[in-house]
Amino acid sequence: MTAPFRVTPKVLVLVAEIERRVGRAEGLELQAPQPLLRKRSRVKTVAASTAIEGNTLSEEQVTAVLEGKRVVGDPRELLEVTNANAAYEAAAGWRPERLRDLLAAHRLLMKGLIQPAGRLRARTVGVMQGSKVAHLAPPAHLVKGQVEALLRWVRDAEVPVLIRSCVAHHELLFIHPFMDGNGRLARLWQHVVLLQASPVFRFVPIESVIRDRQQRYYEVLRKSDRRGDCTAFVEYVLEALRDALDETLAALRPARARPDNRLAQAREHFGGRWFRRADYLALHRTISTATASRDLIEAVAAGLLERRGERRFTEYCFARQRHSTQP
């Protein structure tokens, strides 16, 4: 059982817009894999999701933490960042319908922050807004059944995965299955559901857009709670997802055009094999012959490539990966 929601015309339009953007992002990623973009997205995701819960570390500090550098800061905030990164790293291996995976996700997110982590709450709790109770969560004895029913719905519902991910996000906030960490767990679990739709969502930091619109996030949650209908929340999160995809596409387009990005892809593709300009062009079908020649000449000058032969018989090989024996 989930909160009622309606597939409004606005929801349908947003789903179509997101699906078109996902298709474009998948095409760009296939043409030029973006490990640096994925890394930056992870930083934005982790920084934003923890910031929504009050963490004060900047994106620069989060970057340093994830790179294993020493960062001066509140030990709890540093642990929140480390835990969130570990959880998002593990997300692709979880199934959105498995309760044991949901518990494992909470255990990673809240390790060392609450005791016990990864266990459903055993008492009734309320979400406070100032001195008032903004939301009274369902009684503890109902939690396990409600979570299991939600996860079955996520698996079986005949609505697009995009909508299911938003409803899962909302319902985990409503059920409040743990004593703490429910907000970051709900956002993480939406990420897990979205990965069923496309691997592109590995580097779409919707959490960052939600953080920038955080006041609206809480307003829509309160509205949905009062009405017993999460349609407004679904529309809000789909808008955030569309806009996060726009940011991803904007970052993908220029990255594809950079010579260093093309050369990195060529290094991965050719390894230590000798190749010709025609092979390089076949790998990068959208560039001109002149651009390919310039890439290769500059890479030779920089010592990245070795060259042999003349004119149309010229071949290239990445210097550090060249085989010890030559034909």
pLDDT at 134: 62
Tens of each residue's pLDDT in the chain, 327 residues: 567 899 999 999 999 999 999 998 887 765 556 677 888 899 999 999 999 999 999 999 999 999 999 999 999 999 999 999 999 999 999 999 999 999 999 999 999 999 889 999 998 876 656 566 666 778 989 999 999 999 999 999 999 999 999 999 999 999 999 999 999 999 999 999 999 999 999 989 999 999 999 999 999 998 998 888 999 999 999 999 999 999 988 887 655 556 777 888 888 888 889 999 999 998 887 788 888 898 999 899 888 999 999 888 899 999 865 444 343
Determine the Cα angle at 29 with ends 282 and 159, to 5°: 135
Q: What are phi and psi of 305, to 5 degrees?
A: -120, 150
In this structure, is residue 326 part of a structural domain? no
Q: Which residue has the tokens 């298709």?
A: 23
Rounded Cα gap, residues 65 and 43, in angstroms: 10
pLDDT at 31: 57
81 in the same domain as 97 = yes
Per the structure, the complete domain to which residue 313 belongs is given by 258-321
CATH number at residue 132: 1.10.3290.10
Q: pTM of the full predicted structure? A: 0.76
**CA nearest neighbour of 264 among 19, 32, 8, 22:** 32
17 in the same domain as 47 = yes
pLDDT at 136: 74
In this structure, is residue 3 part of a structural domain? no
262 in the same domain as 246 = no
219 in the same domain as 307 = no
Determine the Cα angle at 214 with ends 209 and 217, to 5°: 95
The structural domain count of the chain equals: 2
Strand partners, 315: 308
CATH number at residue 296: 1.10.10.10
**CA nearest neighbour of 107 among 44, 46, 180:** 180
In this structure, is residue 302 part of a structural domain? yes
238 in the same domain as 265 = no
| 326-to-272, 273, 277, 284, 296 alpha-carbon distances in Å | 10, 9, 19, 26, 20
pLDDT at 20: 93
pLDDT at 75: 96
In this structure, is residue 95 part of a structural domain? yes
67 in the same domain as 111 = yes
Domain closes at, from 256, 277, 310: 256
Domain closes at, from 256, 273, 295: 256
Domain closes at, from 213, 239, 256: 256
In this structure, is residue 220 part of a structural domain? yes
264 in the same domain as 246 = no
279 in the same domain as 301 = yes
In this structure, is residue 99 part of a structural domain? yes
Q: If residue 126 lies in a helix (H) or strand (E), which one and from where to where?
A: strand 126-129
CB neighbours of 215 closer than 8 A, spacing ≥ 6? none
In this structure, is residue 39 part of a structural domain? yes
| Residues 253, 257, 259, 265, CA torsion sign | positive
DSSP assignments along 135-175, one per residue: EEPPPHHHHHHHHHHHHHHHHH-SS-HHHHHHHHHHHHHHH
pLDDT at 97: 97
pLDDT at 128: 57
Rounded Cα gap, residues 321 and 264, in angstroms: 12
In this structure, is residue 2 part of a structural domain? no
